[in-house]
Amino acid sequence: MNFRTLFLTAFCMSTLASAIAADLRIGMIGLDTSHVPAFTQLLNDPKNKNHVPGGRVVAAFKGGSQDIESSWSRVDKYTEQLQKEFGVKRVDSIEELCQQVDVVMLQSLDGRPHLEQAWPVFKAGKPMFIDKPFAGSLRDAIEIFRLAKKYKVPVFSSSSYRFYESMVELKKTDVGEVRGAISYGPCELEPHHPDLFWYGVHPTEALFTVMGTGCETVVRTATPNTDVVTGVWSGGRVGTLRGLRNASAPHRVIVFGTKTVAEQNGSGDYAPLVREIIKFFQTGIAPVSAEETLEIFAFMEAADESKRQGGRSVNISAVMKKNGG
């Protein structure tokens, strides 16, 4: 480890240690998703019944994508809301943001600019949570984690589905040896992103929450209203994602074990995820590994490749290699 790396690591840790004594100063990048006001209210409003202590959003970079309607149509509204309701300062660049905060939440709705937006955060040595979708491509996701390792900056990403109380309770159920699972949920598409990256990422992460890593091959059946993606894990375990569109689209996970079959009961909210984010900012320890996040994105990319090949089986390791992993 060279002197520069040692200096940056020591600086990052000392900054965090002093910040933890008070509330962490949190910066947000990208104010075009409903997660922005929702997370900020949980953090900045102590009267909220689900208030998460330990940090406060103090500054934000607006961002936004002109070619995605759900981004440009909401970014001004959310920016104004953060300023008026929560006293968040708007800044003109990510570099300026990093000078005013201890940690960063990269919230941009569009995954495509995440790699570019993450660069100055890594250079500034600020621990970072990256919201879904983690990136706009598997190749970009691999590069983000490469940069995090290069700059010695803690980073993680997760769907709120992973930490729902109902999911935590499901994982506590003694089903014996897990032989497989089915995860179903919303899977709306967005033309600038690979099919599952946009909203299918959430039920996909729920599937990996119970199955873990080790997926080897993927097969996809796709119709205008439904996606069915079947993965074969090591040891012959089978996990299935059912993505729902243009119809009722609840989200649920069913686990198949050697002792019993267990089903997720109920839904959840954002508070458990935000608590995990604050804990991550305080400790630098990610609750979800880079390896698992990358496998989730490789699974989704392999599903796209299977669709392109007419439903043929696609090897996860080959997809990772093709994209620089």
Q: CA angle, 19 as apex, 14 and 20 as ends, to 5°?
A: 100
Q: CA angle, 192 as apex, 189 and 195 as ends, to 5°?
A: 35
Give the chain's mean pLDDT: 94
Tokens of 267: 């839904």
- Ranges of each domain in the chain: 3-131, 161-271+295-322
| Amino acid 22: pLDDT | 76
| Amino acid 3: pLDDT | 44
| Residue 257 DSSP SS3 | strand
| Residue 96 DSSP SS3 | helix
C-alpha span between 241 and 222 (Å, rounded):
12
pLDDT, tens only, 267-308: 899 999 999 999 999 999 999 999 999 999 999 999 999 999
| Amino acid 33: pLDDT | 95
Stated length of the chain:
325
CATH T-level assignment (fold) for domain 3-131 = Rossmann fold (3.40.50)
C-alpha span between 17 and 284 (Å, rounded):
11
Domain range 161-271+295-322, CATH class: alpha beta
Residue indicated by tokens 């102590």: 46
pLDDT, tens only, 157-191: 999 999 999 999 999 999 999 999 999 999 999 99
Q: How many Cα atoms are found within 13 Å in the side-chain-facing hemisphere of 313? A: 9
C-alpha span between 281 and 297 (Å, rounded):
24
Section 92-103 average pLDDT: 98
pTM (2 d.p.): 0.91
| Amino acid 20: pLDDT | 52
| Amino acid 129: pLDDT | 98
Q: Yes or no: say if 161 and 268 are a contact pair by the CB < 8 Å rule.
A: yes
C-alpha span between 115 and 50 (Å, rounded):
32
Q: Is the dihedral of CA 48, 51, 53, 56 positive or negative?
A: negative
